[in-house]
């Protein structure tokens, strides 16, 4: 944020290594991503070569151990990636390029060495694209209600069911799928993760058209008698629910980072416009009402960023019990997406007619606001989750 944050010097959260990585990423985004956003939005997907470029930059493997090709960075390295990627002003680019960050962690954390070698390693190298398939047409944020089944048949599981709103679902070579391996069980029991290859017979994909995130391919997946090798089971059969919930905590923190970072993009675009746009004998920044709008935007971004960084730091230091961490993570997602919503609205207002035109970052982000208030758990679910964790 101009005049408030110096992203070149180390501080409590970011070391010299973090900030050096930030500067290299900033140059990469400015050179290889931002100029191409409009073309990728029109195409509806990212070119595969971008995943390889991102892998060479260290983006794809930042949180993963060295034995699978990662760089074993800490969570603040992932924050750096998310903050800098957001500077392109296109959430769809960030979502699709980052779909591996939710699809592959269960494989690395709970999968066999063979699964990691065959699938995690090439994903982290940018040679394959990964996706996570949990959400179902009738389930939404209620993971425990999922209906997709995987019934053991010899040395295979037979998978039947549907998944929807799957980021990178059209291009994914590797799909981590939440299934019910015990069809009799209800609720959280009997849920497992299976790794399903993208060319598995019986897997059908249908592209979904969206309000925003146009550069991200999003799919509805249908599994019809898909035979998946039994050794593609990720972790212990029937214990996938807890793994899904832990995966969600990290995903929600990253959503919070992306949200306040997108809010920052809106703020910077609005500020630049207000400084050069002249009306009534002066620039817009000479109008008190505009200055107040900009200050309100800056305050909300600062609050969301500060809360999120504190939660991550305390998590890394092991300072909070799980229930407090889960509750504060839910709050951070709400706070950050509310900041994004507010800043996108105010930026479009400050830009006036230009804010309604495609081609401005604020117009694009305005269309993308709702996906972050829904994805990873809706605001309503987040509030209920925080209340239950805090005993309210």
What are the residue numbers of the active site? Answer: 251
Q: How many CB atoms lie within 10 A of CB 140?
A: 15
In degrees, rounded to 5, the angle at the alpha carbon of residue 270 between the alpha carbons of residues 87 and 293 is 125
Return d(Cα 126, Cα 70) in angstroms, integer: 11
Place of tokens 């290594």: 17
Q: Which residue in 66, 51, 53 sits closest to 173, CA to CA?
A: 51
Strand 174-180, strand 130-133: pairing:
parallel
Cα–Cα distance for residue pair 372/110, rounded to 1 Å: 27
**Cα(294)–Cα(343) distance, rounded to whole angstroms?**
9
SS3 of 364, please? helix
Instruction: Tell me which DSSP letter residue 15 carries.
Output: -
Which DSSP symbol is given to 44? T
Residues whose CB is less than 8 angstroms from the CB of residue 149 and which lie 6 or more positions away in sequence, other chains included = 159, 160, 161, 179, 180, 181, 183
Q: Which helix (H) or strand (E) holds 264?
A: helix 240-276
Give whole-number Cα distances, 87 to 17, 63, 79, 269, in Å.
20, 21, 13, 11
Q: Say how many C-beta atoms besides its own lie within 10 A of residue 128's C-beta.
A: 22
Any idea what the Cα angle at residue 131 is, between residues 178 and 22, rounded to 5°?
130
Give 329's Cβ-side CA count (13 Å radius).
Answer: 27
Least Cα distance to 308 among 339, 282, 278, 287 occurs for: 339
CA distances from 384 to 63, 375, 379, 392 (A): 29, 15, 9, 9
**Opening angle at CA 131, ends 335 and 256, nearest 5:** 10
């Amino acid at each position: 944020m101009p005049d408030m944050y110096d992203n070149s010097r180390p501080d409590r959260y970011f070391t010299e290594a973090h900030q050096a990585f930030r500067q290299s990423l900033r140059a990469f985004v400015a050179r290889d991503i931002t100029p191409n956003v409009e073309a990728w939005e029109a195409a509806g997907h990212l070119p595969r070569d971008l995943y390889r470029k991102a892998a060479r930059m260290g983006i794809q493997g930042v949180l993963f151990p060295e034995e699978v090709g990662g760089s074993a960075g800490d969570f603040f390295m992932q924050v750096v990636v998310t903050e800098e990627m957001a500077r392109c002003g296109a959430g769809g680019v960030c979502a699709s390029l980052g779909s591996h960050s939710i699809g592959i962690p269960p494989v690395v954390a709970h999968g066999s060495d063979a699964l990691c070698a065959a699938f995690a390693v090439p994903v982290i190298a940018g040679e394959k694209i990964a996706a996570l398939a949990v959400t179902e047409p009738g389930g939404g944020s209620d993971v425990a209600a999922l209906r997709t089944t995987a019934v053991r048949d010899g040395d295979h599981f037979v998978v039947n069911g549907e998944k929807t709103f799957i980021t990178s679902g059209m291009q994914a070579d590797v799909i981590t799928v939440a299934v019910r391996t015990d069809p009799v069980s209800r609720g959280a029991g009997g849920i497992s993760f299976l790794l399903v290859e993208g060319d598995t017979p019986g897997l059908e994909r249908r592209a979904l058209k969206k309000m925003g995130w146009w550069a991200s391919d999003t799919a509805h997946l249908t599994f019809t008698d898909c035979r998946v090798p039994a050794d593609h089971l990720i972790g212990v059969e029937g214990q996938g629910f807890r793994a899904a919930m832990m995966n969600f905590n990290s995903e929600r923190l990253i959503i919070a980072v992306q949200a306040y970072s997108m809010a920052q993009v809106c703020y910077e675009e609005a500020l630049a416009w207000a400084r050069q746009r002249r009306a009534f004998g002066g620039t817009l920044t000479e109008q008190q009402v505009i200055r107040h709008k900009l200050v309100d935007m800056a305050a909300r971004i600062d609050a969301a960023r500060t809360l999120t960084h504190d939660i991550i730091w305390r998590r890394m230091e092991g300072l909070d019990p799980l229930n407090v961490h889960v509750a504060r993570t839910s709050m951070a997602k709400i706070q950050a997406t509310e900041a994004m919503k507010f800043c996108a609205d105010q930026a479009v207002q400050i830009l006036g007619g230009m804010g309604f035109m495609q081609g401005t970052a604020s117009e694009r982000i305005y269309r993308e606001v709702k996906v972050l208030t829904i994805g990873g758990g809706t605001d309503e679910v987040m509030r209920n989750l925080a209340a239950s964790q805090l005993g309210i």
